[in-house]
Structure 1
Amino acid sequence: MRRFLLTLILSLSLTTSYCQDTITYLTDAIKENISPYKRASNSAYEKRNVEEGKKLFDSLVKNKLIGTKFDDFSLKVYKEKNVKINRISKPIFIITYASWCVIPKGEIPALNILAKEHRDDVQFIVVFWDKKNDLKKIAYKFSDNIKVCYANEYYSKDSHIVATIKHTLGFPTSIFIDENKKVVNIKHFEDKTKIKTPIKEAIISSYNYFSKDINENLMKSLSSKKSFTTN
C-alpha cells in the first residue's frame, strides 16, 4: 500500500511538472476527464447524494480544470460587435444563465455595482444559452459595464462553446480567467435568497457573495503572476 501511494504521488508530481511546461486548453481537459466525472456524478445524484455530487464537481475543477487555458471563443454580444476572448486584456469574470431561468432577486443589481467598481481591472461577461430574441426582456437590466452575450445550438458557430461549457459544466456557473486567459476558478452558485427577502437585503447578500469570490480570484491571479515573473 505504501509503495502504491509513493508511486501515485510521484505520478502526480510528474504530471504537474509536465503541465507547467505545456499548454492545456479547457476544452481538451474537459474532453479527457468529463466521462468518469459524469458517471460518478450521475451515480451520486441518483442516490440523492447532493453533497457528493458537489464534491465531485469541485474535485474536477480543482484537479483538472484550474490552470488550463480558456479557449479563444468568439462571443456574440447583444447590440454590440462580437468579442473574442483573447482580445480582452484584463481578467474576465463570466457568468452563465438561461433566459428561462429565474435569476435570484438582487443578483443583477449586485453585479451591476461590482462591474462598475471593477471596471478598470475586470471585464464582466454574462452569457445566456439562448437566441438573441430571447434576451429582449432581460438584457437591458444589465449595465453597460457588463457585456451581455448569447450562444445557442441554433447558431452553427456556437456549437463549440455550447458543448464545452453548457453541456459539461452546467449553469448557472461562474468562470474566472486571469489576464493570460488561464482558468483561475469555476464555480456553481446557488440561490440562497428567500422569496420574501427585501430587495435591499437581497442586493447586499448577492454583492457580498460575488465580491468575496471576485476579490479572492484577483488575489490568486496576482499571486500566480508574481510566481510566473519570479520564475
Structure 2
Amino acid sequence: MQKSLLTLLFLFNLYSSYSQDTITYFTDAIKKNITPYKIASNKAYESNNITEGKMLFDSLVKTKLVGTKFDDFNLKVYKEKNVKINRINKPIFIITYSSWCVIPKGEIPALNILAKEHRNDMQFIVVFWDKKSDLKNIAYKFSSNIKVCYANEYYSKDSHIISSIKHTLGFPTSIFIDENKNVISVKHFENNTKIKTPIKEAIISSYNYFSKDINENLVSAASNNKSFTTTSN
C-alpha cells in the first residue's frame, strides 16, 4: 500500500505542469523532480518490481525532461580541445559510460559505424565518468567521428554535470538533443548480448538497436524544428 501511494504521489507531481513561458533547463528539471522519483523508484526496485521502476523513469523523462533546454556544458575531450555543447550546430547523441563497466560486445563497433553514417547530420559524444588517465585503454576503440569525453569528481569544474546527471540518471544512459539544444529523449539502455555471441551478430544487434533509436529521435528533432520555425514566422 505504501509503495503504491508513493508511486501515485510521484506521478501526480510529475503531471502537475509548470509555466511554459520561461526556459526550463535540463539540470534544473532534474533537481526539482529527482527526489520524489528516487523515493518511489527505490521502493519499486526493493520490491523487485522492475516494470514499475522503469515506468517511473519513463514518466519522469516524458513529463519533466523531454522539451527542456540542455545545459551548455564544457566537456573535456580526450586528446582534443574541450567542446561546449552550444557550439555544436547539429543534433547530439550523448552516451554515458564508466571505464570500469564492461561495454557489451559489438556496441563500440556499432556506434562507430553509425557515427560515420551520420557524421554530417549529428554529433556522437561518449562521456566517461572517469579521469583522463582511466581512458587510455578504451578511448582508442572509438572512431574519430565520436568525441570521447570524460568528467570526474576529481575535477572541480565537473561538479555540476556529475551531480546533475551521473548521480541522478545513472549509466549507461543516452541523451538525444536537437540542434536547438532541446532534449528529445533520455533512456536507460541495456545490451543483452551474451559473451559467446559471435562478434558479427553482436555488432548487428547493437547497430539495429541504436539505429532505430537514432532515426526516431532525428524525426522528432526535425518535427520540433519545423514547429519552431512555423511559430517563429
Instruction: Please tell me the TM-score bracket, short chain as reference.
Output: over 0.9
Segments of structure 2 that go 5 or more residues without pairing to the other structure are: 1-11
Superimposed CA distance per residue, residues 131-181 of structure 1 (whole angstroms, 9 cap, x where no aligned partner): 000000000000000000000000000000001110001000000000000
Match of 1:114 in 2: 114
Match of 2:173 in 1: 173
1:196 CA drift (Å): 1.0
TM-score by length of 2: 0.91
Distance 2:177 2:97 in 1: 18
- Superposition pairs of residues 31-42 of structure 1, within 5 angstroms: 31-42=31-42
Match of 1:219 in 2: 219
Runs of 4+ in 1 over 2 A off after TM superposition: none
Secondary structure of the equivalent of 1:184? strand
Match of 1:49 in 2: 49
Amino acid at match of 1:27: T
1:128 CA drift (Å): 0.2
RMSD of equivalent CA atoms: 1.3
1:125 CA drift (Å): 0.2
Amino-acid identity (%): 81
Match of 1:58 in 2: 58
Secondary structure of the equivalent of 1:211? helix
Distance 1:113 1:195 in 2: 21
Distance 2:224 2:184 in 1: 9
Match of 1:6 in 2: none
Secondary structure of the equivalent of 2:137? coil
Segments of structure 1 that go 5 or more residues without pairing to the other structure are: 1-8
Amino acid at match of 2:61: V
Amino acid at match of 1:189: F
Distance 1:93 1:191 in 2: 17
Match of 1:193 in 2: 193
Distance 2:77 2:159 in 1: 16
- Superposition pairs of residues 143-158 of structure 1, within 5 angstroms: 143-158=143-158
Match of 2:22 in 1: 22
Given that residues 191 and 206 in structure 2 are in contact (C-alpha distance below 8 angstroms), is that contact kept between their aligned partners in structure 1?
no
Distance 2:198 2:107 in 1: 13
Distance 2:31 2:141 in 1: 35
1:67 CA drift (Å): 0.3
Secondary structure of the equivalent of 2:192? coil
Distance 1:108 1:32 in 2: 34
1:229 CA drift (Å): 1.3
Distance 1:46 1:170 in 2: 17
Amino acid at match of 2:226: K
Match of 1:207 in 2: 207
Superimposed CA distance per residue, residues 161-216 of structure 1 (whole angstroms, 9 cap, x where no aligned partner): 00111000100000000000000000000021111110000000000000000000
Amino acid at match of 1:181: K
Superimposed CA distance per residue, residues 30-57 of structure 1 (whole angstroms, 9 cap, x where no aligned partner): 1110010000000001111111111100
Match of 2:94 in 1: 94
Distance 1:113 1:27 in 2: 31
Secondary structure of the equivalent of 2:29? helix
Alignment of 1:75 with 2:75, yes or no, is yes
Amino acid at match of 1:123: Q
Amino acid at match of 2:166: K
Match of 1:230 in 2: 230
